Amino acid sequence: MHQEDIVIVTLKVNGVERPLAVEPRRLLCDALREDLGLTGTNLGCEQGVCGSCTVLVDGESVRSCLMFAVQAGGCEITTVEGLASGETLHPLQAAFWEKQALQCGFCTPGFLMAGVELLRRNPEPDEAGVRAALAGNTCRCTGYEHIVDAVLAAADGAARERTFAEEPEVDVAAEVVAREGR
């Protein structure tokens, strides 16, 4: 690393301000993985095609291998490590486990981030909508079947949550987890 090239940049990652000293060429994915130790974001092609390195930048899905860390200065970044609330899995994480939407798990973080973005934009997608929205991510193990099932199941769970929103004591996320016997 050449000292004269170093840039100081602050990323807000999973809700925490993280100042970094990086070279301008430092990719966002490398900054997350190597400088911040957030190795949940995986690199499958480093060409912006497989979608494994997908993270959310200000709520939008981004391929972190196609963005420089310095471009993300001041942005809110969510990685797979930021989805769960402590012990409680995000409903989409719970659904991925429940539906066996992962095998080797390498592409899983990217699919989760793409799925979270989809469900925010369209809380009640149909199967074709899920397949279209996930077409930016490649999985080689599952044939996508269980991934699509998991996204649809999480959408169903969220719809139930909205239906029962007036009953404040119902914690649907905890219910999902309880149902799965965790």
Partner 1 sequence: MTIEVERAPREAPRRRYVGSRQKKLKGDLFVRGKARYVADIELPGMLHAAVLRSPHAHAHVKSVDVSRALEISDVVAAVSGEDARELTGPVPHFIDPAVFGGKTAEVRCLAVEKVVYAGQPVAAVVAASRNDAEAALDAIAVEYEPLEVGLEPAAGTQGGTLLYEGWEDNTIIHIPFVEGDVEAAFAEAEHTLEDEVRIQRYTTAPIETRGYVADWDTSAESLTFYGACQNPHPLRWVLSHALGLPEGKIRIVAPHVGGGFGLKMHGHPEEALVCMLSRMLERPVRWIEDRRETFLIGGREQTHTFKVAFDDEGRITGLRNNIVANVGALGAPPGWGMAFLTALSFPTGYRIPNQDVQVSIVATNKGPWNASRGYGKEATNLVMERIVDLVAQKLRMAPAEVRRRNFINKDEFPYKTNAGLNIDSGDYHGALDKALAMMGYDDLRAEQERLRAEGRYLGIGLAFELTPEGGDIPGTLVAGFDTTTVKMDPQGKVTVLTGVTTPGGGNETGIAQIVADEVGVSLEDVTVIQGDTGLCPYGFGNYSGRSMLVGGGSAALAARDIREKLAKVAAAMLETEPENLEFGEGVISRRDNPDASLPTETVAYSVLTLAFATAAMVEPTLESTRVYKPDNITHIPDEKGRIQPYPSYSSAVHLAVVEVDAETGVVDLKRFGVVHDCGTIINPTFVEGQMQGAVAMGVGAALSEELIYDDEGNLLTDRFKTYLMPRAGDLPSFEMEHQVTPSPFTLLGAKGAGEAGVGGSQAAVANAVNDALAPLGVTLRQMPLSPPNVLRAIREAAEKGGVS
Asked if residue 24 binds partner 1 (CB under 8 A), the reply is: no
d(CA 32, CA 14): 11
Asked if residue 130 binds partner 1 (CB under 8 A), the reply is: yes
Nearer to partner 1 (CB atom), residue 1 or residue 16: 1
Going 33 to 139 to 51 to 15, the CA torsion angle's sign is: negative
CB of 136 to partner 1, least distance (A): 8
Asked if residue 116 binds partner 1 (CB under 8 A), the reply is: no
d(CA 158, CA 40): 25
Edge to edge, the sheet with strand 76-78 lists: 16-22, 7-13, 76-78, 54-57, 60-63
Among 77, 147, 154, 158, binds partner 1 (CB under 8 A): 147
Among 5, 58, 124, 145, binds partner 1 (CB under 8 A): 145
Nearer to partner 1 (CB atom), residue 87 or residue 166: 87
